Amino acid sequence: MQHFIAISDLSSRAVQDLLDVAIRLKKEYFETGNQPLFKGKVLGLIFQKPSLRTRVSFDMAMRHMGGDALYLSPNEIGLGKRESIADVARVLSGYVHGLMARVFEHAHVTELAKWSSVPVINGLSDYNHPCQGMADALTIQEKFGPAKGLNVTYVGDANNVAVSLLYVCAKLGWNITIASPEGYDLNPAAVELGGQIAAETGAKIIQLRDPHEAVRGAQVIYTDTWTSMGQEEEAAKREAVFPPYQVNARLVGEADRDVIVMHCLPAHRNHELTDEVADGPHSVIFPQAHNRLHAQKAILARLFGVA
């Protein structure tokens, strides 16, 4: 890999390779501690959006592997405003060994990658969230293994997180069902690309309106906030549309007996996900969050060429 911008850019074999590396590095971390494979490496962290998991997981991933991370706030860079993205990329390429960017517009991270001479990682954009997708896949494989044919259901706003989940499921041969209200469907271009990937792996992509129909036979139920950052003006409208898509005990009870419930966090509890489910026996939301650390170690290791 030269950059990590979207899971759709990778082959199915490369996706599974990253997961295998993540599993190995996670095991190593808990048994002996990670080897300092990133010694002498510095990762620049560019943030346009506030973050808990993305910032801390990348920072700690570098530390655990013997490297360092440099946080760059929105006010320090003003990406595309104070200075052109092309100039920022070329300047930072001379200071650090890699860049992670958490941005509003996907075009900003692709522009960074175009001009950067060091690896660029998409830490989140309005189009997709590939680092989250890899942590999701790691969490699912830890529970069910890598076998094809798994049934994954996403319920709610088919946003950037859903796009990366679509891609990783398609790459790994898992069936994915998306249940969302009218007007909040998946990006059509992402569906088309996901369909092309699924045709190669045998995965199925299904889009439904009824969440109860969608979860029948599901081994995984995934949801996310009804109102993402940057959509605050739509909050009242969305609050009126999404209650039927709440992941609650009734909905979980209609899925597979061994179903796991996932959420990328932060969660608006008792909105898209009830406390009973979030803290219940089917929930893996915190192991899922912790797996951001290990999945990102694998991404960094491959980009740095050290594992």
**Helix residue ranges, H only, the chain:** 12-31, 53-64, 74-77, 85-92, 106-115, 130-144, 160-172, 188-201, 211-215, 235-241, 249-253, 275-278, 285-304
Report the percent of the chain where pLDDT is more than 90: 91
Mean pLDDT of all residues belonging to the chain: 96
Taking only the tens place, the pLDDT of each residue in 114-133 is 999 999 999 999 999 999 99
Boundaries of CATH 3.40.50.1370 in the chain?
7-129+292-304, 132-288
> Model-level pTM?
0.96
User: What's domain 132-288's superfamily in CATH?
Assistant: Aspartate/ornithine carbamoyltransferase (3.40.50.1370)
User: What's the pLDDT tens digit per position in 184-236?
Assistant: 999 999 999 999 999 999 999 999 999 999 999 999 999 999 987 667 778 88
The catalytic residues are 102, 129, 132, 224, 264, 292
7-129+292-304 has CATH 3.40.1390.10 classification: no
Phi, psi of 291 (to 5 degrees): -70, -15
User: Which residues does residue 176 pair with via DSSP β-bridges, in sequence order?
Assistant: 152, 205
- At residue 229, the pLDDT reads 66
For 246-270, the pLDDT digits (tens) are: 999 999 999 999 999 999 999 999 9
- Residue 145: in which H helix or E strand, if any? none
Question: What percent of the chain stands above pLDDT 70?
Answer: 99
Residue 22 contacts residue 298 (beta carbons within 8 Å): yes
44-92: per-residue pLDDT in tens? 999 998 899 999 999 999 999 999 999 998 888 878 788 899 999 999 9
- pLDDT for position 76: 85
3-class secondary-structure state, position 14: helix
Reduced to 3 states, what is the DSSP secondary structure of residue 251? helix
- d(CA 25, CA 20) in angstroms, rounded, equals 9
